[in-house]
Structure 1
């Protein structure tokens, strides 16, 4: 890659007391920005791992091991940047051009595990609004590959921090972005032409395949128009899951991926569930030994999706007899209490105490 096509970036910095923490905004799976722009849609702020771990007792050579540990919990991620990007003030191996970043939840976790009280307070004061605004963010993926920087008006002034007199440099930034956009557009059009050719040459009518294809195309159309509906996605995902037998439950990468995603979504809901449970306990403090039936408790306190998963897992579909479902709900409630770390019933408290004693 010629030197003229290199994009030099200076990451913005957040001052939190004595700590200086650089960051970026993750836009989607392939793009990022260095500036926040509300009119361009939601973004996820990510904080540079090297800054997050600076001035801690963890030796620099051990940082990658800790980053990987937090990444497994969805609190950190390793971002692989396009080779076109260079970072001012950072030593980044050009072989993989990657850096570790933390979500604001990950930043808080590191702060309260490794910072002194003064620095913990500084993080709390400076980042609490960010934490509140990102409370519903999904856990981070283990890694991302970012090839596009979307705030071109800013990148124009940052393209060459060390040589600002090169007036041609901003144009190189814009040319690189335009070229990447054209490549993606060309690839999408090629796929659509290929699909059209295949449908034109079909001699047999595969109704089920065509129905699923139509669902996918409708989702694509909605997505490009910015009005993708959850109902449409639900129907399409279900159709794809039923499209074929995806293999053994013991070796299905599809089931593993769905299980991981569901687990991350349910884990992210823990905070709101805890608040709901605490409110329930306050309201029922006088009748804690005379609680409503298990089914009512489960329905009031836990998300419907959690109940649906467990009911079908336990073989209790909607067609099951009402009596059978009632008899199994105490078990389902107990599982929900344990899985969400929110104990409500006396049985859960007794069992939990017994387990931790062992």
Structure 2
């Protein structure tokens, strides 16, 4: 069908702050609407995948893979539209004229996996009524072929009003208008179906940056007001505040150094008593982060251990002292953590530290799944047998 005889459609759109999501209503296996008219039967709202994934950490070229993953779970579907339809503000190849859409359950799943907390809250507040009303919907098919648009022009105003009510107040639906394609027919017919020109990513990110900057200014103004007051309750925290502000300044200037971050983090940790080790979320978070960092070192440690064994194959029964082995093969942070955990600080007697190092070495061997000493091999074999 020629471009002049094509039916140009503008999808209705939800505006939620910086994020905008276009949608349609699936009526049956072959038909759709752009407005919701309850009197003419049920319709399932479906949300445009390109909008849902816009301005996330997922690169555009990887979107199809994610869409397919969610489609296998019945949360997304690829809709093939009749060649008679063209979409304003969307670049869809005329060869297949298809777009990915998500159910409201799929929208929630993506939001809670990829969105910021503020965006998750916006989705939750605006789509919870839709989610409740569609709770019993069956999973989506992998794809649909839609050839018929069932919107009734004579009742579009009524339907649009009912659509807003059904989709909750903040959903501002725009009824389809027969306007020219904003991308230009030639460009739109040859472009990828995940590109869209009505909301450039750069513009979205610029607006998002402006919001962040405004929030930072507001926070700094609030701090200034508190420092100007006569209240003395914050005086004991000024040193920590200075450390934080110094790090913020360095972060903005792009010259944040590890030494300064170390001082800031240590200052925060010492700022107050964070509670029992049994219930402290802060200590749990630090432990998790440390564990992940140490786990990531495993391959390089294994390589070091293998090289060490090759070099000392003739002296395997006469290895260097435990302290030398630990220092040569395992990262210093691991040793520091365990030494302090065992109550051995830098001030501990040299004799005490020497006596405990064989235990520390054994722990490091087991924790890193790299056995060097004969003791470790014997104990490991014994544990496996049990």
- Coarse TM-score class (shorter-chain normalised): 0.5 to 0.7
Q: Normalised by the size of structure 1, how large is the TM-score?
A: 0.61
Find out whether 1:32 has 2:57 as its counterpart.
yes
Q: Structure 2 residue aligned with 1:188, among 213, 216, 240? A: 216
Matched, 1:6 2:17: no
Q: Per the alignment, in what secondary structure is the counterpart of residue 247 of structure 1?
A: coil
Which structure has more relative contact order (CA 8 Å, sep 6+)? It is 2
Is the 8 Å Cα contact of residues 48 and 99 (structure 1) preserved in structure 2? no
Q: What is the number of residues matched between the two proteins? A: 251
Work out whether 1:306 is the aligned partner of 2:334.
yes
- CA deviations over 1:17-59 (Å, ceiling 9, x no partner): xxxxxxx99xxxx8526269xxxxxxxx9995676899xxxxx
In 1, distance between residues paired with 2:180 and 2:380?
Answer: 63
Offset, 1:177: 3.2
The answer to whether structure 1 residue 351 and structure 2 residue 379 are counterparts is yes
Counterpart secondary structure, 1:6: strand
**CA distance in 2 between partners of 1:204 and 1:259 (Å):** 34
Q: Which blocks of at least 5 consecutive residues in structure 1 are unaligned?
A: 12-23, 37-44, 55-59, 63-87, 101-141, 149-162
Which 5+ residue runs of structure 2 have no aligned equivalent? 1-11, 23-47, 75-97, 120-178, 185-195
Distance 1:50 1:331, change over 3 A: farther
Taking a change above 3 Å as real, the CA distance of residues 329 and 49 of structure 1, as seen in their structure-2 partners, is farther
Determine the structure 2 residue equivalent to 1:92.
Answer: 102
Distance 1:46 1:191 in 2: 36
Quick check: 2:57–2:114 contact (8 Å CA) kept in 1?
Answer: no
Contact 1:215 1:236 in 2 (8 A): yes
2:168 — aligned with what? Answer: none
Q: Indicate how the Cα distance of structure 1 residues 6 and 346 shifts in structure 2: closer, same or farther if over 3 A, else same.
A: same
Determine the C-alpha separation between the residues in 2 that align with 1:204 and 1:229: 32
TM-score for the superposition, normalised by structure 2? 0.56
1:260 partnered with 2:288: yes
What does 1:1-358 align with in structure 2 at a 5 Å threshold? 2=13, 5-6=20-21, 31-32=56-57, 34=59, 48=65, 90=100, 92-95=102-105, 97=107, 143-146=113-116, 165-167=181-183, 170-173=197-200, 174-204=202-232, 207-358=235-386
Q: Which moved more, 1:163-172 or 1:292-301?
A: 163-172
Once residues 312 and 200 of structure 1 are traced to their aligned partners in structure 2, the CA distance between those partners, rounded to angstroms, is: 42
Task: Please report how far the alpha carbon of residue 187 of structure 1 lies from its aligned counterpart in structure 2 after TM superposition.
Answer: 1.0
Q: What are the superposed Cα offsets for residues 147-203 of structure 1, whole Å, 9 maximum, x if unpaired?
A: 99xxxxxxxxxxxxxx99333963533544333222212111110100000001144
Structure with greater Cα Rg: 2
8 Å contact kept, 2:50–2:100: no
Counterpart CA distance in 2 for 1:143 and 1:314 is 39
Partners of 1:305 and 1:52 lie apart in 2 by 40
